[in-house]
């Protein structure tokens, strides 16, 4: 049974794309068939996997979703790129900006990504979706298509105020479009164990949510290697396999696998 997990946050700069890359490749390293879908017009996920100019590709997620919206027949595997660390990628591009506006004119504009993913469920064990931090048409599509959501949480000042908009988005889409949607859990990112603020942020979130939302035990550290790896189109496992970042994402992967 394929699991579709959105890596989502209404706040930018929280390690969302880094988590999508390293969780996805971590799952592949554990023998899982994994597809990563880049639903952000900045295409950071695609760039992090070595696609330097996603807009120069002939076929990206934009073309796929536009064809589905127009009720055209498609080959669901068209445009999918194989990364040498064992995951497949459907790249995004800047053209997703225009598509987001276009989908508002379609009667079923909230469900085109769901239709695409349904064509691919039998091909993969996990489909991870990296979405932009805003409740626009495409981010609604992401939540409408997902089984669950992993929310990266930056260990910084006022973390709860940054979490709440994402939780509200999930609740809204769950009520309107996707009754099975659940929050799979929070994962703390860019954690600096040297600072009191980081520790207090973790405590505050646990006090507020631990009774009704899973908080992953794995905490992703602030590490230069995690920031540098995307420039080489590599995961942290290849770029710095002995580092704290690789250790943390490997632990997170095992926690996600334990939820099967």
CATH number at residue 110: 3.40.50.300
> What is the reported pLDDT for 153?
92
Residue ranges of alpha helices (H) inside the chain are 16-29, 44-48, 61-69, 96-103, 112-120, 137-145, 159-176, 196-209, 224-228, 236-239, 244-258
SS3 of residue 60 by DSSP: coil
- List the domain range (segments joined by +) for residue 54: 3-258
Q: Return mean pLDDT, the chain.
A: 93
The answer, yes or no, to whether residue 11 has pLDDT greater than 90, is: no
What's residue 135's pLDDT? 55
For the chain, what is the domain count? 1
The single-letter DSSP state of residue 106 is: S
The pLDDT of residue 74 is: 94
For 72, left (φ over 0), alpha (ψ -120 to 50), or beta? beta
Q: Is residue 12 very low, low, confident or very high in pLDDT (cuts 50, 70, 90)? A: confident
- pLDDT value at residue 163: 87
The CA distance from 86 to 89, in Å, is: 10
Query: Which range among 17-26, 44-53, 198-207, 226-235 shows the weakest confidence by mean pLDDT?
Result: 198-207
Say which range, 36-45, 48-57, 131-140, has the weakest mean pLDDT.
Answer: 131-140
pLDDT at 133: 66
pTM of the model: 0.95
Rounded distance between C-alpha atoms, residue 37 and residue 19, angstroms? 13
What pLDDT is stored for residue 136 in this prediction?
Answer: 82
């Amino acid at each position: 049974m394929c699991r579709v997990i959105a890596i989502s946050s209404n706040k930018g700069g929280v390690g969302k794309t880094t988590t999508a890359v390293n969780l996805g490749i971590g799952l592949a390293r554990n023998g899982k068939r994994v597809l990563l879908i880049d639903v952000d017009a900045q295409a950071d996920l695609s760039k992090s996997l070595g696609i330097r100019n996603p807009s120069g590709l002939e076929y990206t997620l934009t073309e796929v979703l536009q064809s589905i919206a127009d009720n055209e027949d498609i080959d669901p595997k068209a445009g999918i790129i194989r990364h040498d660390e064992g995951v497949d990628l459907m790249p995004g591009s800047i053209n997703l900006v225009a598509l987001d506006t276009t989908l508002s004119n379609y009667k079923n504009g909230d469900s085109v990504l769901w239709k695409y993913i349904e064509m691919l469920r039998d091909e993969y064990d996990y489909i991870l979706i990296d979405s932009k931090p805003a409740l626009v048409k495409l981010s609604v599509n992401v939540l409408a298509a997902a089984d669950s959501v992993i929310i990266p949480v930056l260990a910084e000042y006022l973390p709860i105020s940054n979490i709440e908009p994402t939780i509200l988005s999930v609740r809204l889409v769950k009520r309107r479009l996707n009754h099975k949607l659940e929050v799979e859990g929070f994962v703390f990112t860019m954690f600096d164990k040297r600072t009191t603020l980081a520790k207090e942020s973790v405590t505050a979130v646990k006090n507020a949510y631990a009774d009704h939302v899973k908080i992953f035990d794995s905490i992703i550290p602030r590490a230069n290697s995690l920031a540098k790896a995307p420039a080489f189109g590599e995961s942290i496992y290849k770029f710095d396999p002995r580092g704290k970042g690789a250790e943390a994402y490997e632990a997170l992967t095992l926690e996600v696998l334990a939820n099967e």
